[in-house]
Chains A and B, each alone.
Chain A
């Protein structure tokens, strides 16, 4: 059967149906609608005020490519300036090719680009080194857990270096829905409590962060990139097949086939979730080591790096208190409401670092 007419301009042939409205649109009207929606998301949510210096997390992939392209079109209208920040996690055979794509984009769009590397920020701990350190820890590979935390920290650091006032990332509706599923599947009450919403306002000194594409389905992001002929890097990270997110993604794809609105509905459900009092996380404090926002003595990044440096990579992985409890002295009271035990001071064999950022911890290099 021939494609229907565009419901907007009634002139051209429709190219797709927008999942949310069911409206059939031609490529021109779809691209315009997509861009208008991003603009609306930003303006209605007051996400990027005039004068904002916006650090765009750029991986070379489809989402950040579309994000940077659209924001660049909207920048004059919004009165913002853009700066691409790319994170080099140190994944051989993958990240180098992706960074090449980012460099091409920066040149084509004439946008400044800053690259921050794990190796430099985290005392030599590249993702390849983390993967070697966590291999054989049983169950599925947990190096992706490290990457999620460390990449956010690296992006924050890169944004600071360029004097940004805001950070944006290209997460789309599917990513958000997958995260909601993952948090439920892992019983992560803390993240569920913080989940939903258009972005974090930047508590504890962190830069405000938002996701302008979060109402766009992944399919629309890919089609937008295709219709606008945007060049992006489309290989899967070498560690991704073993990441837990893959299970959530498979489930989401099946759900979406049965009920296309399931993706956005999941995100909306998470936004409206209210946790039982016992499940609510304690108000966050500051990391005792680096000062970043933390709900325990150490922020996640410091706790993960600590575990790596001590040769106990699984130290900080695991929900709530369980990770740090591994380190608690024996014979403590069994009550679950006890405060976190203080971390014992590191053994002489593993050098302690005063800050995970810019550390030159000699003890780490032996593990590379």
Chain B
């Protein structure tokens, strides 16, 4: 039943479902239908469960809307209101079109992510099969650690949805290639298109207006690159381009930016002028006026290029500051006459003028007269090391109990004594071992002998069949996962952790029962004498001991 607090977005009467008359309700998070006269909803679907919607073609007599769910089921609604069937259905369709994408992403993303992880990592897949499918732990517990990122990565960055800046040279980087017959081939990537849209919102508007109704995407971009808007000599001779309005908007935008000015006390944009002295050594003394009429052809084309560059840089900066209010980006030095927009962030402590808002005159002056490289290097202060007993680092810990131990002087004395003995050794052949005893001692101490077993490489891998090893490996992975969950509960601080620890203990016992014992019995039947599961049992026993210790401590604290 609808909860009272649910927001109803749309109500459509006379909608039939399965040959029953009723009313269709579209709510904030779900869509529901109830038969006529009854209070309950018989059909209710969350938007997150809906995969897509389908509508019957316009010519048909029956006006229908079908919802296909992720699970494959579908529900069909028949709009039977004689006068407004099509309108109703279209209203429902529009609303669903807006709402579905919002919920779609959330549900799909997680499922897709899980599926992807299971497919990519066979070990994880095996673990999933061993633990969740055999119901040792529940699926939520399994995914709790994996999805959150085992290495503390932000889930947002998981999908590589990084915010990207706009390169100042993105238009220059397009680099058209000639395609042999007097044409140019432009290679547009998604990055370049996004940069164009973010930098020139007017072009984005044109795109959304015209594509896909009037022009295809290819035609749109061909038009864009052909238009004078794109080329450097922007001669606005009133051509019937879709982009001629954009050019006019850009002019207005640039004028307003110049009037806004720049927050640098040493720069006054309005007094900057492009004064050229004549070629050669600047002998000419006539001051050129700035009115358009007196410009030569060459000057006016330069003027146009410079204006274009300035405008482009300004737009790139403005687009970049969409996320952050003040901004300071250094553009590549490809454009000669562009203007630095030095709006900056606040920090009173930095010596850098970029840190101040507005750039404080004093710091700017200081920057101009002082040069860091000539000054003494100020290293940050280091913390002195206070070691109370630094000779403790030179040798290991001294045992606290009184033990029989020798002083270094005694050791030196004994070494000297042995050296003396060896120097004065005279063989006494009547008191040596018999040859049989000596040769058996040598045999025992050679490689492979009784006393030398531990050094040799044990070829256990060959002694145990590979399938058994493989199964044992899976058991290890699964047990490791469970034990990791168990040990992560300690120290037990919150009631949630207490519950978890008890649940994990029962999970461990269940795992031992269902997986470990059968495996053990199986290998015993194969007459393998080595104790393959001994180590796993030890690990489990250590965990149980820890649990019991914790429990007894808790009991003692309570009483």
Whether chains A and B associate is no
